[in-house]
Amino acid sequence: MIAVGTSVHDQVLSVPPDGRRALLARVADAGLDHVVVADHVSFHGGTGFDGMVGAAAALATEDRVGVLIGVYQLALRHPMTVARALASLSELAPGRLTLGVGVGGEDRSEVSNCGVDPATRGRRIDEALTLLRRLATGEVVDHDGEFFRISAGAVLPAQSPPVPILIGGKSEATIRRTAEHGDGWLGMFVSARRFAEFVELIRKRADELGRPEPDRHGFEVWCGLAEDPATARELVAEKMQRLYKLPFEKFERLCPAGTPAQVADFLRPYVEAGARSLTLVPCSPSWQAGVDAVAEVRALLSP
């Protein structure tokens, strides 16, 4: 069965505790598998939400759902502190956290203001991923690399089970990075045809490396969900334009808007292309309506 989740990052840190409990209880009661929280330090003038803090809030509030951080701006952090946060969250909620890692860079000032050269962020992420894998085991790490130096560093206790890592993006580097470091790929803003191509390319690259095939592939999608398709489109267009500072027409082909049945029809080819999980970022008349609509999409996609 395909795992289906919903985004809660707009609400999980911005509502009072009673509201957060009500939101996550509704998600769990609806039978959804996970929630996603986003991560930005200072996006387009200051917008942000800390992915680790959001994950902790969700995991501690409701123990019937998993949490995906999608995607975490790893290039802006030191892997030692990230490994500590992951170890702590693994203790808090073993087996319920998944880390999505993105290259970022849509807002270059967000990167540079964190003291990182935007031109080097890809290499920085590769080095950080290598270190995260080693630190997750509890081993003592000595490392002298291009960006990071660690002397007899360890993060205990070891993650048990290890937190899965999904690699976000849609470049050639994403294919390589997923094959080398990831448990799967987290696609966004790609067609179902392109999704299938990526899954196959990642499989081939992992085979060449002699590494087990990463197969926990997921797809994250913005969508408008309402009984009136015109209303659904208006809701998702307004929200995306406000966040990305771009016309909705730039995204429209890959962001479905309509009834749950229409959105399920849009997503079905991604399941056929190899997606094991779907995460919807719903734009609906209310958060309650959004959760219920995503649950309906899940039911329509279930065998």
Q: How many CB atoms lie within 10 A of CB 128?
A: 24
- Give just the sign of the alpha carbon dihedral 60, 61, 66, 68: negative
**Closest among 217, 161, 216, 211 to 187, alpha carbons compared:** 217
Pairing verdict, β 149-153 and 141-144: antiparallel
In angstroms, the CA 58 to CA 55 distance is 5
In angstroms, the CA 256 to CA 280 distance is 10
pTM value? 0.94
pLDDT at residue 219 in the model: 98
Q: How does pLDDT run along the chain (303 residues), one tens digit per residue? A: 899 999 997 788 788 899 999 999 999 999 999 999 999 888 777 777 899 999 999 999 999 999 999 899 999 999 999 999 999 999 999 999 999 998 876 778 888 988 999 999 999 999 999 999 999 999 999 999 999 999 999 999 999 999 999 999 999 999 999 999 999 999 999 999 999 999 999 999 999 999 999 999 999 999 999 999 999 999 999 999 988 888 999 999 999 999 999 999 999 999 999 999 999 999 999 999 999 999 999 999 987
Residue 230: partners with Cβ closer than 8 Å, 6 or more residues away:
none
DSSP, residue by residue, the chain: --EEEEE-TTTTTTS-HHHHHHHHHHHHHTT--EEEE--EEEETTTEEE-HHHHHHHHHHH-TTSEEEEEEE-GGGS-HHHHHHHHHHHHHHSTT-EEEEE----SSHHHHHTTT--GGGHHHHHHHHHHHHHHHHTT--EEEE-SS-EEEEE--SSPPSSPPPEEEE--SHHHHHHHHHH-SEEEE-S--HHHHHHHHHHHHHHHHHHT-PPP---EEEEEEEE-SSHHHHHHHHHHHHHHHH-S-GGGTGGGS-EE-HHHHHHHHHHHHHTT-SEEEEEEE-SSHHHHHHHHHHHHHHH--
Cβ atoms of 187 and 217 closer than 8 Å: yes
Domain 3-215 architecture = Alpha-Beta Barrel (3.20)
What tokens does 103 get?
């290259």
Sorted by where each begins, the domain ranges of the chain are 3-215
pLDDT at residue 12 in the model: 80
Helix axes 172-181, 192-209, angle to 10 degrees: 50
Q: How many CB atoms lie within 10 A of CB 90?
A: 21
What tokens does 219 get?
């797809």
Whether cis (ω within 30° of 0) applies to the bond prior to 229 is no
